[in-house]
Amino acid sequence: MQARITSRELFDQLQERLGLRWIAGQRGEGRQLESASHLARRPSLVGYLNTIYPNQVQIIGTDELAYLDGLEPRLRWETLAKIGNAKPLALILTKDQACPPDLRDAANEADTPLWVSPRRGHDLLTYLQYHLARALASRATLHGVFMEVYSIGVLLTGDSGVGKSELALELITRGHRLVADDAPEFTQIAPDVIDGTCPELLQDLLEVRGLGIVNVADMFGDTAVKRNKYLRLIVHLERQDPQDDPKPVDRLYGDVGKRRVLDLDIPLITLPVAAGRNLAVLVEAAVRSQILKGKGIDAAQTFIDRQAHQLRRHSPW
């Protein structure tokens, strides 16, 4: 999914937090900014005024205004025209500085949104970089139930009717937390981090066959839900027909693999669903095992090393 944001959307999202006022260039409210992967490499999303490699959002602080004031009238107007021709998403004046009339005129002429904020340039730069990085990050919606189990994000996947929601309900009763049911949204907010959230429409809700939709927050309390979590593990539930021959599984390592989510390979564990199997306990054990592997503790490798040591001890050579 290609993410994009318009000047109007960015202003509405940050107006209250950054104290923004829109003073010129209102006709440019539909100007769009796409994800950074579609931009040239040299310009950045946000930065101080730069006429050589224009940033997508140009911050005009005290020093930048002083630079413009030091230019001869003709060069000053050419510089302002050059800024407008670059079609930035917006220009932002810091610390409630008075806007020069020619800057306002240039913004209106080029339909470039011009905002004023009481914040310092550094505050604007830091927050806008964070906000735009998240807003324009790669996104994907996956089918499953996203949970927090032992402090890590776990996505439960499987065919419809395999028991994902019932398993999620059992995990919630054991003290774990629900992030999203059915359609969690995942955003790659860093090269090695995928953040999972719940669509607003599905917030706090879980559909359980036979019970319908239940509100987890109302039923179990606010501590039973969580707004977002980093995705660290996928547990896939696979229905096992007793009439069929069991699928061969590595007895040492189990049925493990990887699943590509956006640009990351996420560890995947497949659990067979059959009568008499306590899936909640198995998921908890899978999560604990994953946490230990992150610390360099691998039970299967420990067993293999012990076996190799025993063979060396009893070898006649």
* pLDDT, tens digit only, all 317 positions of the chain: 557 899 999 999 999 999 999 999 999 999 988 765 444 454 578 999 998 888 999 999 999 999 999 999 999 999 999 999 999 999 999 999 999 999 999 999 999 999 999 999 999 999 999 898 888 888 899 999 999 999 999 999 999 888 899 999 999 999 999 999 999 999 988 888 999 999 999 999 999 988 899 999 999 999 999 999 999 999 999 887 666 656 666 677 777 899 999 989 999 999 988 877 899 999 999 999 999 988 888 888 888 888 888 888 877 66
Residues in the annotated binding site: 158-165, 207
Catalytic annotation on 251? yes
Residues spanned by CATH 3.40.50.300 within the chain?
139-306
Q: What is the DSSP letter of 52?
A: S
Residue type, 52: I
- Residue 193 to residue 287: CA distance in whole angstroms: 18
Residues in the annotated binding site for ATP: 158-165
The two tokens of residue 195 are 């953040």
CATH of domain 139-306: 3.40.50.300
- The domain over range 4-135 is classified in CATH as 3.40.50.10800: no
Catalytic annotation on 164? yes
Residues spanned by CATH 3.40.1390.20 within the chain?
4-135
The single residue listed with the structure tokens 């109302």 is 218
- Phi and psi dihedrals of 173, rounded to 5? -65, -20
Which of 31, 119, 164, 236 does the annotation list as catalytic? Answer: 164
- B/e letters for 281-301, b = 16+ CB within 10 Å, e = fewer, are ebbbebbebbbeeeeeeeeee
Which of 27, 87, 143, 258 does the annotation list as catalytic? Answer: 143
Which of 177, 182, 229, 236 does the annotation list as catalytic? Answer: 182
Question: % helix / strand / coil in the chain, to the nearest 5?
Answer: 35, 30, 35
The predicted model scores a pTM of 0.73
Catalytic annotation on 182? yes
Burial class, 144, CB count within 10 angstroms (exposed 0-12 / middle 13-18 / buried 19+): buried
Could you tell me if 85 and 110 are in contact, meaning their C-beta atoms sit under 8 angstroms apart? yes
Which of 251, 312, 313, 314 does the annotation list as catalytic? Answer: 251
Residues in the annotated binding site for Mg(2+): 165, 207
